[in-house]
Amino acid sequence: MFKYAVRRILQSIPILLIVLTLVFVVVRVLPGDPAVAALGDYASREAVEALREKLGLNDPIWLQYIKFLGNLLKGDLGKSAITGYSVAQQVIHVLPYTLTLTFCAIVFGYIFGVPLGISAAVHRNSFIDYFNRIFSLLGLSVPAFYLGILLMLIFAIIFPIFPVVGGGDFWDLKDNLRHLVLPGFSLGLLMMAYVTRMTRSSILVVLREDYVRTARAKGVIERIILYKHVLRNSLIPIVTLGGLYAVVLIGSSVMVEIVFSRPGLGKLMVGAIKQRDYTTLQSVMVIYAVMVVFINLATDLIYSLIDPRIRYDD
């Protein structure tokens, strides 16, 4: 296990390096001069040139690249040329909001999705199965931001129970939760749809296995078959696909943050693009990519933990 984990971690490093290079290149080929973006179209040529020098934009591209990697290693994300704030500080401020939102959605999805998926698979072609199928199809089809708008309309405008916009004070638990309910629900319902669907299909596949038939034939109680034989074996895809969906959810969180004007990485990124704030954009993209690489790594490691065959195969 340890050897596999080390090898898997080492495999992630070159991928991460290429990702960082790609982000560096993308931000460098963005149209427009970052110095002009910071100073405005009417800035004097001298002022623009001075800022370019200060931002290191006049350095040869390879030197900029090395500086970029070196700074990242030190945890220095640079300063926004537009706002003048440290990007790292901005990220530290908003990251907890994004992580809480995504985490709550994942937990919500699993808590409600797994039981619903199980009951749908066990009571196949029953009312609950049809409900589950329609629900998960709707969940897979509805854009998160549209769901957010509908929830906002109902629970914040027509019945003003929850706040319409903002993220509240993160460290004030009550305020934080109040602001989290609607965004969390919009994202959580999507996760629930994914989880329900994959739990159902995963259990249906295992229910057809020979060992389930054998267990039934020797008279094991149905409940024990379900929990001991079926659930344990259908857990593997539920966990691995969960990782995949967590990545999808991180993407959708951008939209939910924008609809609810909630602080977060997504809002920071879109704001950076609109203001042509390249330093911030670059950093946020790096953080997103690091998060995905980390989730993929964690998923693989958990996978190898719960499915011993993986370890021996390697």
Partner 1 sequence: MSEIQEQLGLNAGMAVEISQRNRMWRAFRRNKTATIGGVMAVFIVLVAIFAPLLSPYDPLEQDSVVRLTGSSAAHWLGTDDFGRDVYSRILWGSRVSLIIGFFSVLMGMIVGTGMGMVAGYYGGKIETMIMRTVDVLMCFPDLILAIAVTAVLGSNLVNLIITLAIVMTPRFARLSQGQLLKMKETEYVVAAQAIGAKVPRIIIRHIFPNIFGELLVAGTLWVGVAIRLEANLAFIGLGVQPPTPTWGNMIREGVDVLINAPGISIFAGLSILITILAFNTFGDGIRDMIDPRLRGE
Sequence-distant (≥ 6) Cβ neighbours of residue 1 within 8 angstroms: 304, 305, 311
| Total residue count of the chain as it appears in this document | 314
**Residue nearer to partner 1 on the CB measure, 145 or 170:** 145
**Residue nearer to partner 1 on the CB measure, 78 or 139:** 139
Rounded to the nearest whole angstrom, what is the least distance from the CB of residue 25 to partner 1 in the complex?
Answer: 10
Regarding 122 and contact with partner 1 (CB under 8 A), the answer is no
Regarding 288 and contact with partner 1 (CB under 8 A), the answer is yes
Output the CA torsion sign for 93, 95, 96, 98. positive
What residues pair up with 86 in beta bridges, in sequence order?
Answer: 79
Rounded to the nearest whole angstrom, what is the least distance from the CB of residue 251 to partner 1 in the complex?
Answer: 3
Interface pick for partner 1 out of 6, 9, 26, 66 (rule CB under 8 A): 26
**Residue nearer to partner 1 on the CB measure, 176 or 201:** 201
Site residues for partner 1, 154-193, by CB under 8 A, read: 157
What is the signed CA dihedral for 58, 62, 67, 70, rounded to 10 degrees? 180
Rounded to the nearest whole angstrom, what is the least distance from the CB of residue 149 to partner 1 in the complex?
Answer: 5
Interface pick for partner 1 out of 13, 22, 173, 298 (rule CB under 8 A): 22
Interface pick for partner 1 out of 4, 5, 30, 155 (rule CB under 8 A): 30
HSE-CB at 309 with a 13 A cutoff on CA atoms is 3
**Residue nearer to partner 1 on the CB measure, 29 or 218:** 29
Regarding 252 and contact with partner 1 (CB under 8 A), the answer is yes
Regarding 146 and contact with partner 1 (CB under 8 A), the answer is yes
**Residue nearer to partner 1 on the CB measure, 47 or 128:** 128
What is the signed CA dihedral for 131, 135, 138, 143, rounded to 10 degrees? 170
The residue range among 36-44, 172-180, 283-291, 297-305 that interacts with partner 1, by the rule CB under 8 A, is: 283-291
Regarding 88 and contact with partner 1 (CB under 8 A), the answer is no
Measured CA to CA, the distance from residue 199 to residue 139 in angstroms comes to: 15
Regarding 18 and contact with partner 1 (CB under 8 A), the answer is yes
On whether the CB atoms of residues 233 and 209 are closer than 8 A, the answer is yes
Site residues for partner 1, 211-230, by CB under 8 A, read: none
Regarding 13 and contact with partner 1 (CB under 8 A), the answer is no
Interface pick for partner 1 out of 56, 115, 143, 308 (rule CB under 8 A): 143
Contact residues toward partner 1 (CB under 8 A) are 14-16, 18-19, 22, 26, 29-31, 133, 137-138, 140-143, 145-146, 149-150, 152-153, 157, 247-248, 250-252, 254-255, 258-259, 269-270, 273-274, 281, 285, 288-289, 292-293, 296
